[in-house]
Chain A
């Protein structure tokens, strides 16, 4: 077809015929059934994939392709039927087992860990043995990525990569496993023509090597080009398997949708003349993040499609029009300019249907009726109070008119099938009487029946005089529904297709041809220093400078500061801060939180005061402390991992319980700590306390372990994205449990220092260390969501916190400052990091994490 290395494809097709007889079955699915609430996703599906072939799986959104492959890869348990990989039957739903049998899958939502580097991701993905140890991972990954020519630096963090770079990493990872069965689920969605042809030549190579490839796509021309056989899936059933040579594109489309296009799509406004002359939506010179110089006009009654390779600004443009992202330029609706902001857009009659239905479309834990009236509450309210009965009546009307399948208006919307959830969104949208409707992938993860209804509703909305802008990655949908289609590339509208030009093939061709080049951020190749400054250790440098500066200022104003006595005191008191900071860091890296640090320290001090006293036994005392720390860590960890208790609640409860326990043991301070032990603990070299040296050493070891050991990798992986880590075979529960135990164990030395310092059994002075531990990690720039942090930064941050507390009396500050300083430092640090992290948008991080729209259950 267009621009493909035709010689190679002809060769591949040619060999199939001759080899067909001796080909072995690489993947055999027999009688697969799978139901989701309200939907029969798969119905007795049989599929046989031979080694040495590219087997395409074709079907519309919601036909069951991804569900079928989730079953094949062991990620989802079927209700019935069996999966056989290379002749061995899968015993249960286990991705590990499937992988061991030689199956690799590239999903629409790549299993990548955003806070880890590319090399670390590849090492986890393919196993350390294949890579040859973590220290070789960079060179090994470089060798696997270079052929793609995407300028991916293996030392970059994944969250710094663009979407297509992430896909290439994911594909390279799967190829490195040397699979016998490789499943590619919509792999070209984010790729340009060049990248697609590179992917295809790799696919042909591995097929020539005897592997089988299952290729899922709704881009029919690509399927024609790459595959040997095609299986068509519709409504969860196989509608036939064909040799690719025997069918043409039109036949494939007809089989995928099961009827003529005209039967699925309502007549177009441009054909029956319902498109008005009013220019309802007029956009001039609009620019924002991801798009620029956009001019477009949508008239009343018109449905205009937005197409292009994903990530070329289509979605960003839609969000900006909905007022959800800042943009400059002019937008007007029926001649009235639209001010900034989502509320202003809404007031101008712009209504947005988001692609990510679960997170952004519906309110999952609210009922159907609430969802339907969500956007139009004032219409069902009197004097500011919502009329429940009116909400229900309206919901019943919409349920009936749109044929929403739900037990009733009070059913939670999460219990509905994808298609019916989307109909709820459309009901809400209809009630909002849009003048401009922005629909982003409205049929993703929607079953066939509902999809036809959705097309109907979109057309009716247009017919009622609204301007509809439809973003879709499905060419058939654009062909069937749109009066015009705009192709976007690199943030601009580059082509417009009208009338007879609006066909699946033309749209696909235009999108690919216009996106041959791409702006690539070569900053990723920047020098060592720039990478370092973006890295986890950078805060250490800034904090170190602050530490020195503060020291200089104070020593200039107060000579008492530089005395060995004060320095010794400062460093000695820094030891517990170092240990509790490290403890909190370990837990937070695994995306946990520990509020029981301070009270645990208090409990351990009180425990020590019963045995580490005159006539007691040091070892029993230490044993008790160790036992206490272990028990608390285990209980916290079990509550969080086994019982899924929110870490904050679990450790808040624990912290109160621990306070109760130590108060019950000693309601007033008592039990003089054996002085000899105190002296040991306070031993020093010159003015440098030994415990502080030990603490620094422990932190350095932890830092090394975090980067260089599998434990460190697993901990960061779990904290970065637990679901992806689990998919990669990491036992995230155990890792998190371990982090709580290790965290509590790190509190133990802090308690020993405290015990020596106060010399008496009293838990209360330790309470403030919970805040100290959190101040330290916040200062150190540790990601509070887990996955990223540096013990070097914790080291410097702990010293800085102690320094700040130490200097306030030297500067003659009142006692109020002993509260203000840690509080203000925590807030200021959190604020600075928050500002540094986001590039203008408050939720940049969250959005970045979800740039790749989840595939839904199709």
Chain B
């Protein structure tokens, strides 16, 4: 019965205009890239009015690298959410990426370039392990990734011996530099996001990932090897977290050991704000990236208003919950209002 109720939304309305408006409302709040883009532009527009200087070049340049890091990490989270999971190992993966890129050159004498490669590859392997636990053994993603996070933090501790290392100068300089006035971190993020977004939305692989996200069983029935795709989704996601961690480590110069802790909620928030449904299926990495920009600018705005970091946590949580609740409440209220006005 619930299916028929749910499915009655789009075509059940005989008056064309109301049906069309209903669809628009449903789309606006049901998730798509439009609302988050509008919201981001609006936020950028009102920022100077609320806090003068919050859109100044210094302010933007200090915000962008963090937005870039968040966008890359959130792209990974998008892949996992698309498979109806939620990746709680983001903090551990980012910390691992960071510790590999800092501690390997400093404590073990590994070159910077191999360290960068390892900082992406090693988390990716752990991500594949997540995928094996989830896809092959049927462990709930939540439990698998939460347990994995603790394992990763232990590994970070073991690799670093408990003390943070500084990032190699080359990496530090690269992350601080700008090319043609654009911070290198942003360029990296744009490239990563663009490639990931095009592959995810246009390629056969992307279509299959979407199909599996909508229904594993239906995907299996048409001959897709579901587990392989799910495994690689977790693997690629972890590679993204590793990359985000290494960029952040380079930018921060001497990163704290567990630098990813404050990124878990924002990645989830960015995915949700970007319109990807937690029930899996259709996902937009590009929209997630825009949402990451939104969240970073919101943080920047609050910071220039003098809010402490603790309030930022609250603000992020409130924005996340508010958006999720609005997505439920607004279409229902609209439906009810329209039902009353037509009958």
Contact = CB atoms under 8 A, between A and B. Distances in A.
Interface string B311-339: 11111111011001100110000000000
Contacts of B187: none
Contacts, number: 250
A354 B222 CA distance: 10
Contact of B7 (A37, A377, A845): A37
Interface string A324-366: 1000000000000000011101110000101010111111111
A513 interface: no
Nearest to B277: A365
The 10 closest A-B pairs by CB, nearest first: A346-B223, A823-B150, A660-B313, A819-B154, A820-B154, A826-B147, A663-B310, A660-B314, A657-B317, A823-B151
A838 B136 CA distance: 11
Given A342-B223, A366-B214, A660 B143 contact: no
B203 A70 contact: no
B322 to A, nearest CB: 9
Contacts of A774: 143, 146
B151 A648 contact: no
Contacts of A843: 138, 216
A823 B317 CA distance: 26
B281 A817 contact: no
A363 B211 contact: yes
A384 B221 CA distance: 22
Contact of A664 (B153, B221, B310, B321): B310
A20 interface: no
Interface string B255-284: 000000000110010001000011101100
Contact of A649 (B12, B308, B316, B324): B324
Interface in B125-159: 133, 135-140, 142-144, 146-155, 157-158
Most chain B beta carbons < 10 A, residue from A76, A363, A835, A837: A363
A247 interface: no
A354 B217 CA distance: 10
Interface string A358-382: 1111111110001000110110010
Contacts of A857: 4
B341 interface: no
Interface stretch (A113-121, A126-134, A639-647, A712-720): A639-647
A75 B1 contact: yes
B302 to A, nearest CB: 12
A831 B137 contact: yes
B320 A361 contact: no
A742 to B, nearest CB: 21
B173 interface: no
A37 B157 CA distance: 58
Given A375-B223, A826-B143, A830-B133, A815 B157 contact: yes
Interface in B199-252: 202-205, 207-208, 210-211, 214-225
A360 B328 contact: no
Given A37-B12, A385-B202, A827-B144, A323 B223 contact: yes
B317 A648 contact: no
A364 B59 CA distance: 45
Contacts of A663: 308-310, 313
A572 to B, nearest CB: 23
B158 A816 contact: yes
A700 B223 CA distance: 49
A831 B222 contact: no
Given A366-B281, A815-B157, A838-B138, A661 B314 contact: yes
Interface in A161-215: none
Interface in A602-643: 639, 643
30 contacts: A36-B8, A37-B7, A342-B221, A342-B223, A343-B225, A354-B217, A354-B221, A359-B218, A361-B221, A363-B211, A365-B279, A366-B282, A370-B207, A374-B211, A374-B222, A377-B204, A385-B204, A411-B11, A432-B222, A657-B313, A784-B140, A819-B153, A819-B157, A822-B147, A822-B150, A823-B149, A823-B153, A824-B147, A827-B147, A837-B138
Nearest to B262: A656
A652 B11 CA distance: 35
A428 interface: yes
A584 B49 CA distance: 45
Identify whether the interface residues of A are mostly helix, strand, loop, or mixed: helix
B340 interface: no
A18 interface: no
A401 interface: no
A84 interface: no
Contacts of A661: 310, 314
A723 interface: yes
Contacts of A386: 202-204, 207
B10 interface: yes
Contact of B218 (A70, A360, A639, A822): A360
A768 B112 CA distance: 34
Most chain B beta carbons < 10 A, residue from A359, A814, A827: A827
B3 interface: yes
Nearest to B4: A36
Nearest to A635: B321
A660 B311 contact: yes
Interface string A386-415: 100000000000000000000100011011
A674 interface: no
B170 interface: no
A765 interface: no
A700 to B, nearest CB: 26
B205 A667 contact: no
A119 B268 CA distance: 43
Contact of A360 (B12, B137, B217, B311): B217
Contacts of A831: 133, 137, 139
- By size class, the interface of chain B is 35 or more
A432 B224 CA distance: 13
Contacts of B153: 819, 823
A61 to B, nearest CB: 16
A817 to B, nearest CB: 7
Nearest to B135: A842
A593 interface: yes
Most chain B beta carbons < 10 A, residue from A76, A365, A370, A375: A365
B272 A649 contact: yes
Contacts of A817: 154
A363 B137 contact: no
Nearest to B142: A648
A391 to B, nearest CB: 9
Interface string B65-86: 0000000000000000000001
B308 A639 contact: no
Contacts of B282: 365-366
Nearest to A378: B204
A645 B328 contact: yes
A817 B278 CA distance: 33
Contacts of A649: 86, 268, 272, 278, 320-321, 324
Given A414-B3, A775-B147, 14 more contacts: A342-B220, A365-B277, A385-B204, A428-B222, A639-B325, A650-B324, A664-B311, A774-B146, A778-B143, A819-B153, A820-B151, A820-B158, A830-B137, A831-B139
A377 B219 CA distance: 13
A25 interface: no
A360 B223 CA distance: 12
Interface string A763-787: 0000000010011001000001100
B150 A639 contact: no
Contact of B321 (A70, A343, A653, A838): A653
Contacts of A820: 150-151, 154-155, 158
B1 A652 contact: no
A363 B204 contact: no
Contact of A643 (B10, B281, B325): B325
